[in-house]
Structure 1
Amino acid sequence: MNKVPFKTVLYLPSQAAAETEATITKWFVKPGESFVKGKILAEVESAKSTFEFESPCDGKVINIICAEGSTTSFESPVIEIETTDSSLKNEIPSASASAVETPQMEISIVEKQKEPAIREISMLGIGTYLPERIVTNGEMLADHPDITEDYIFGVTGIRERRWAKKEEKPSDMAYIASVNAIRNSGLKPEEIDAIIVSTTTPDVMMPSTACILQEKLGIRGVPSFDLNAACSGWLYGISVAKGLILSGMAQNVLVTAVDMQSRLLDKKDRNTYFLFGDGAGATVISGNHPGHTIKCEILTADAGGIHMARRSYMGYEVPENTGDVDPWIRLDGRALFRFATESFSSIIRELIVKSGWQASDIRWVVPHQANSRILKAAAQKSGVAFERYYLNIDKVGNTSSASIPIALSEIERGLQKNDKIIFCTVGAGITAGGMSIEW
């Protein structure tokens, strides 16, 4: 069936959170010209960098909105095009510059000294689940015969990832991780009095995956809900759990992160196809049992990066007919690299200060396993040597919000009392967060 062309506008990709505008120094296309996906449309200069503006689709230029040499907001359209790419019909439109100010990287700190003196919030048991199926880079070459296994490893840091079986659901993975976490915490299931599930791939839209998990665990009568902060979700969930405990609404909160991204990958899209694995990670956060002390947290979100990572279709599977809705995960790799590098490094530095530590005190930085190149770049700016960053992305890929607990579980046995650990993450939204913990 022939696709119907339609008109739309394109925006410059967001850069660092503090940047609000850029200048088009040169256009490489003009009205009436056709172009293909990936073509460089313009050269752009911002306060901190010069970059190339690439086309996200095939199409034809209708109108140049921002003239060569003009400065424009990242929230303002720069070019009008005609395309048949249905994914652009469903992008979230940018808010007008007059309606909302470009968000800055406002970091909210929750400091331990602000809590009641009688209350110490601790992390107890950790539990994880990884599917049995291992998918190597070699298997993926069938869809990309022009590249090599080493190329995939070079750009992602990944050699293999785990993908769920056809019959597995996100709640199945969440259940196994949660059972392991509760057992390792030393508590009984009936002592859990709240359940939080972080996921972007729920079993169904309703009821929540947390309620499905509650039923599988045999727990009754406790608040249970999902949250979606993408790859930042586990740390967001722990902060919410801490709030429930401090409010007196709960004592022991199960926080489970689960994502099943393998069925949401466009094989033709090299920005996403090689990156993601499936998995689940869980922990119990407690206010009345001694454990590993949470020192402070950072949570933030910058909607200026709302286009950097997105998916328009709901659920953990893609049905045969999705109409005009693009069902796949889409990433703006270059913009994400810049944002994530700055966010990781600034969050780590801020956590060290707020925790009263020195960079040399850090035993491990356990980051969201986004991409090894991002993490190496962040390490150079964070003040903590890259050797202290724990990476397992080579074996499991990017498991979204489950990546930090999965990585933490691998080093748990080697940790000693009073070891100082930092978690940090970036996710779609753009969300970001960090946490310091003393083992």
Structure 2
Amino acid sequence: MAKKLYTKIIGTGSCIPEQVIKNDYFSDYRFYDPSSKKPFEKTNEEIIQKFHEITNIEERRWVKDDQVDSDIAAEAIKDACDSAGIELDELEFIIIGHNFGDVQKGRTHMDVLPSLANKVKGKLGLKNPACICHDVISGCPSWTQGMIVANAYIKSETYNKGVVVGADVLSRIADPHDRDTMIYADGAGATVVEGVWSEEPIGILAQSSRSDSIPFANLLTMGDSLNPDYDRDDLFIKMAGHKLYVYALNHVPGVVKDSIEKAGLQLSDIKKVLIHQANEKMDEAILKGVFKLYKEKDIPKGIMPMSIDKLGNSSTATVPTLLDLIVKGKLENQEINEGDYIILCSVGAGMNINSIIYKW
């Protein structure tokens, strides 16, 4: 059998901020009803309890006051290169998946000039101009989209080794008067990828993607605070939660199934499903939807690892961070073994969906 070129992950890394924000942190917040723009009649205790029941988020991580997105992205890259056993100057490309760039403490304005990847390259001290760098902004699937771009670079033999990062600081663009602010977290995850010639299929085997801008582009937008008396010219992330939930359930399972079929596999071949950590109940419903497409009722225990209970929703960072935690034995009762087929999947703003089939 002739050898083919595959994209293989040779190292993983992450930067999980030290600041732990538990649910009771929001006890004194003043949340407004998005429909009436008036304060909820329910107590914050009731709101927080219902929030936990739906999302299973107990706590999340936020960056320190003097940190920005490029700081944690750079740390995740260092960690990934260490685990890969390579030097930083071996990287031929740096792809940073994110959504808001470097948002300073006390502000909500995006800063993507220069690009986050250029800032990170500078913070890493990489002077080699042949190491190209650029951003990918594609909602929560920005890291999976970055992996698809990296795979194209490697398969075309344009570049052979690089790093793909998912990094977001959502805590600074969340409306303090919107109960959805409790969902959002900060973090960064990174994967070093390399082209490997092999007779046996390894690494990225297949991918399937979908973008539904009409009529779903407005499910995640930037908008004014829910508090009508908020007197600053700020824009915050706004989410049509129920509609997004319905969209994900209707479309993500089909994209996942398509990627499995493209890889020439069966659902029973899949050992792990690493899906964007957005909402535990939603992720569980998506997984049930995938198994329903195959007319399977029994879902293997532990097939879908979760980190959202402790880390919240860090957007682009959730999947690569989850992968890093599992690979390094930091997630209880979870492991990925050589030869395992896994799914790397995300859905988010756009609306965009990616599903990648990977052989470890």
Q: How far apart, CA to CA, are the structure 2 residues paired with 1:288 and 1:360?
A: 26
Answer whether contact 2:28 2:44 (CA < 8 A) is retained. Answer: no
Is this contact kept in 2: 1:262–1:277, CA < 8 A? yes
Residues 6, 202 of structure 2: 8 Å contact kept? no
Matched, 1:395 2:310: yes
Matched AA of 2:304: Y
Shift in Å at residue 363 of structure 1?
A: 1.1
How many residues in Structure 1 have an aligned counterpart in Structure 2?
Answer: 315
User: Quick one: distance in 2 between partners of 1:261 and 1:371?
Assistant: 15
User: Any idea what the Cα deviations from partners look like across 1:36-85, whole Å, max 9, x if unmatched?
Assistant: xxxxxxxxxxxxxxxxxxxxxxxxxxxxxxxxxxxxxxxxxxxxxxxxxx
CA distance in 1 between partners of 2:250 and 2:321 (Å): 24
Residues 92-141 of structure 1: CA distance to partner in whole angstroms, max 9, x if unpaired? xxxxxxxxxxxxxxxxxxxxxxxx95312111101001111111111112
Matched position secondary structure for 1:172:
helix
CA apart distance, 1:267 = 1.9
Provide structure 2 residue ranges, at least 5 long, that are not aligned to the other structure.
31-42, 103-110, 225-230, 330-334
Residue 292 of structure 1, CA deviation: 5.8
Distance in 2 (alpha carbons) for counterparts of 1:140 and 1:321: 21
Residue aligning to 2:271 = 363
CA distance in 2, matches of 1:146, 1:197: 37
Unaligned runs of 5+ in 1: 1-115, 314-319
Q: Aligned partners of 2:148 and 2:288: how far apart in 1?
A: 28
Residue 358 of structure 2 aligns to a residue in which SS? strand
Structure of greater Rg? 1
Of 118, 131, 151, 1:242 maps to: 151
Structure 1 partner of 2:34: none
For residues 11-40 of structure 1, give each alpha carbon's deviation from its aligned partner in whole angstroms, at most 9, with x where no partner exists. xxxxxxxxxxxxxxxxxxxxxxxxxxxxxx
How far off is 1:263 after superposition?
Answer: 0.9
Find 2:96's aligned residue among 197, 207, 211: 197
Deviation of residue 343 (structure 1)? 2.6
Secondary structure in 1 aligned to 2:44?
Answer: coil
Deviation at 1:151, TM superposition (A): 1.8
Question: Is 1:405 matched up with 2:291?
Answer: no
Match of 1:153 among 52, 56, 65: 52
Matched, 1:299 2:209: yes
Q: Which of 108, 114, 126 is equivalent to 2:12? A: 126
Would the aligned equivalents of 1:127 and 1:283 in 2 still touch at CA under 8 Å? yes
Partner of 2:243: 335
Q: Is 2:343–2:355's contact at 8 Å kept on the other side of the alignment?
A: yes
Read off the aligned partner of 2:119 and give its amino acid letter: I
Alignment correspondent of 2:38: none
Using structure 2 for the length normalisation, give the TM-score: 0.83
- The residue correspondences of 1:285-296 to structure 2 (distance < 5 A) are 285-288=193-196, 293-296=203-206
The 3-state SS of whatever aligns with 1:307 is helix
Q: Check 1:386–1:233 CA distance in 2 against 1; reply closer, same or farther (3 A cut).
A: farther
Cα distance, 1:352 vs structure 2: 2.1
1:211 maps to 2:118 = yes
User: Contact 1:376 / 1:386 at 8 angstroms: preserved in 2?
Assistant: no
Residue 376 of structure 1, CA deviation: 1.5
The amino acid across from 1:285 in the alignment is V
2:352 aligned with 1:431, yes or no? Answer: yes
- Provide the C-alpha distance between the structure 2 equivalents of 1:199 and 1:406, rounded to a whole number of angstroms: 14
Q: Distance in 1 between matches of 2:91 and 2:80?
A: 11
Residues 288-330 of structure 1 show CA distances to partners (whole Å, capped at 9, x for unaligned) of: 48896111111221102110001269xxxxxx842xxx51100
Q: Which has the bigger relative contact order, CA under 8 A and spacing at least 6?
A: 2
**1:418 paired residue among 336, 339, 343:** 339
Q: Which residue identity is paired with 1:229?
A: S
Q: Which moved more, 1:125-134 or 1:216-225?
A: 216-225
The whole-number CA distance in structure 1 between the counterparts of 2:355 and 2:206 is 8
